[in-house]
Structure 1
Amino acid sequence: MPHILSIMEARKQLTSLPETLIHNGQLDVLEITRRGKPVLAVLPWELYEAISETLEVMGDTELMPQLRQSIQEMDSGKLISWEDAKQELDL
């Protein structure tokens, strides 16, 4: 659940927001409101990078079908051991 701050309060606390976003060792999102309505989301850089990378992968029209197929194969137990894969690839 995100922390909620008014835009005025967030402005006062700007320099301490990075510490606010780490709660009990977990990364939190900060919801900034104006007149009680959400207008901004502030999140730790690591979370932003993770979201950006996920969106990039999901937007790749060649990669997503391969990823879906791999997940289906994994779920159905169609796996090969690392040793077998290395042998097949002559590594």
Structure 2
Amino acid sequence: MTQLTISEARRSLLDLPEKLARVPERAVSITRRGRPVLAVMPWEFYESIVETLEILSDPEMASALRESVEDIKRGRMVSHVEAKKRLGL
């Protein structure tokens, strides 16, 4: 993960959105005295993390996700076209 000191982050705060767009990790670690104290990330990335945590903290949703992954591994899938057909769309 890309790291910036608090002083560097303060100087480049207005440029951070553009910097994050160029960073593959999609987040920047802000350090104080060499230790990470903050993470700065694009809002969409933050929202996706929160949504993932909500899904994984719900036992029913987590179970459904595990079953879905197992279905994919075993090849138990239908195409988008077939799914629409089955749903009458």
- Bucket of the pairwise TM-score, normalised by the shorter protein: 0.7 to 0.9
Higher strand share goes to which structure?
A: 1
1:18 and 1:43 map into 2 onto residues whose CA distance is 8
Aligned pairs for 1:52-71 (under 5 A) are 52-71=50-69
The 5 A counterparts of 1:22-37 are 22-23=21-22, 26=24, 28-37=26-35
Match in the other structure for 1:79: 77
Tell me what 1:10 maps to.
9
- The structure that has the greater radius of gyration is 1
More helix by share: 2
Determine the C-alpha separation between the residues in 1 that align with 2:5 and 2:83: 57
Identical columns (%): 46
**Cα shift at 1:84:** 6.5
What's the offset of the Cα at 1:85? 6.8
1-side partners of 2:25 and 2:71: how far apart?
32
Q: Which runs of 5+ in 1 are unaligned?
A: none
TM-score under structure 2 normalisation? Answer: 0.80
